[in-house]
Amino acid sequence: MWAEYSYRSLEFVQRVQDLRKTADLNAADRIKVKVVATPGLKEAIEANRDYITAETLTVELSYAEPALGSTTATDVFDGEKVTVGLVKA
């Protein structure tokens, strides 16, 4: 089960990092992230929350619809769907 969470966590981190680039953020910018995810992905995010927040410089990670004006993307991978929104903290 750890390998599944690890893979999903890595994929989630990659999507957040791609979204940071889309938002034209500096490498050191801290962010706030809102996520809507299918249950399997949400479980993986929670199991690896510390790793994810450290890798993406996230100061606030919550499960809610992304706020209006945030940089947002929706994706599907490994049978899981995710919508991620971020703003500079």
pLDDT number for residue 10: 94
**Structure confidence by residue, pLDDT tens digits, 17-44:** 999 999 999 999 999 999 999 999 999 9
The domain containing residue 60 runs over which residues?
2-88
Structure-token pair, residue 75: 């994706």
Other beta carbons less than 10 A from residue 14's beta carbon:
14
DSSP 8-state assignment for residue 16? H
Number of domains in the chain: 1
pLDDT number for residue 3: 58
**Structure confidence by residue, pLDDT tens digits, 61-87:** 999 999 999 999 999 999 999 999 999
